[in-house]
């Protein structure tokens, strides 16, 4: 993977001014790819872009909200204008509004927003990017999802439900878009260090903190995965080296759990 050459490839990454999305952007840029990142905060985006430009001068930033279809469509169009083409898209941005909470303790409003805020930002960038990928003669899609979709975790019922929707959609879109030479895969994450989600999980003494503190003690390798390790998996699925892989969800979970669908 360290020698994976992506020179000349062009990728758009939604929700990528920090966390795993930004780690993916750095990984792709370091391997020669053109990269356009996006995020809601122009200030954070410009700071992220400065760091990326230290790696490659073919990196760009567009401000937008992955939860808004019109904004996403504009972002994809701007990314294509910046890079001249689109070979792949990573749907990485979906900050949950509601932290892990037992289902019975959630209000109906929390149930609805918890599902929507984790699902729609995952799928809208993919939908918006399909015409550009078709125009390029094919490409690759990677959606970031959660291992809670495959392994039941107390307090993550709605998080897992939204993640399971992404897992199923990965298979469905791989079937539908295969005729266009567009591959679709997902990377399922567990609690991952070097991310804003990690910082939020342990910021307060609450249910989520206790849940993830227990999980950390169970990693067979003695630690949780980090953002760079997730990024390496995503980069592989975007690359020509995975040309015969589609419709799959790869868990980067440090061996915390196995099986699933």
Helix (H, G, I), strand (E, B) or coil at 247: coil
With bands split at pLDDT 50, 70 and 90, how would you rate the model's confidence at 36?
very high
Query: In this predicted structure, which of 9-18, 69-78, 191-200 has the lowest mean pLDDT?
Result: 191-200
The number of residues in the chain equals: 261
Contact yes or no for 223/245 (Cβ under 8 A): no
Contact yes or no for 224/159 (Cβ under 8 A): no
Strand stretches in 149-216, DSSP E: 182-189
pTM passes above 0.85: yes
Contact yes or no for 238/5 (Cβ under 8 A): no
- Report the distance separating Cα 5 and Cα 17, nearest Å: 23
The DSSP-derived string for 112-162 is HHHHHHHHHHHHHHHHHHHHHHHHTT-EEEEEEEEGGGTS--TT-HHHHHH
Work out the average pLDDT over 129-151. Answer: 96
**What is the per-residue pLDDT across 180-196, written as a single tens digit (0 to 9) for each?**
999 999 999 998 888 88
Q: How far is CA 135 from the centre of its chain?
A: 23
Q: Which domains does the chain have, with CATH numbers?
A: 10-196+226-252 (3.40.50.720)
- Report the distance separating Cα 143 and Cα 169, nearest Å: 10
The pLDDT value given to residue 260: 60
In the chain the first and final C-alpha atoms are separated, in Å, by 26
Task: Look at 96 and 30; give whichever has higher pLDDT.
Answer: 30
């Amino acid at each position: 993977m360290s020698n994976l050459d992506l020179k000349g490839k062009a990728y758009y990454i939604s929700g990528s001014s920090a966390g795993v999305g930004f780690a993916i952007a750095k990984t792709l840029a370091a391997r020669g790819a053109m990269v356009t990142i996006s995020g809601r905060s122009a200030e954070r985006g410009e700071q992220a872009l400065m760091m990326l430009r230290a790696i490659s001068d073919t990196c760009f930033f567009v401000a937008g909200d992955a939860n808004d279809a019109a904004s996403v469509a504009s972002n994809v169009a701007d990314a294509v204008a910046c890079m001249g083409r689109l070979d792949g898209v990573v749907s990485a941005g979906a900050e949950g509004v509601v932290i892990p909470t037992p289902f019975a303790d959630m209000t109906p409003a929390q149930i609805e927003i918890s599902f929507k805020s984790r699902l729609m930002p995952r799928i809208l960038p993919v939908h918006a990017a399909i015409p550009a990928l078709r125009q390029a003669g094919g490409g690759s899609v990677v959606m970031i999802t959660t291992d809670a979709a495959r392994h039941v975790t107390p307090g993550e019922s709605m998080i897992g439900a939204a993640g399971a929707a992404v897992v199923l959609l990965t298979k469905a879109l791989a079937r539908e878009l295969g005729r266009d030479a567009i591959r679709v895969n997902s990377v399922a994450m567990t609690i991952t260090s070097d991310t804003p989600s990690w910082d939020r999980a342990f910021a307060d003494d609450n249910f989520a903190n206790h849940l993830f503190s227990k999980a950390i003690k169970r990693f067979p390798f003695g630690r949780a995965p980090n953002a760079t390790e997730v990024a390496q998996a995503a980069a592989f699925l975007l690359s020509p080296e995975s040309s015969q892989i589609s419709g799959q969800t790869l868990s980067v979970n440090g061996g915390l759990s196995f099986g699933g669908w």
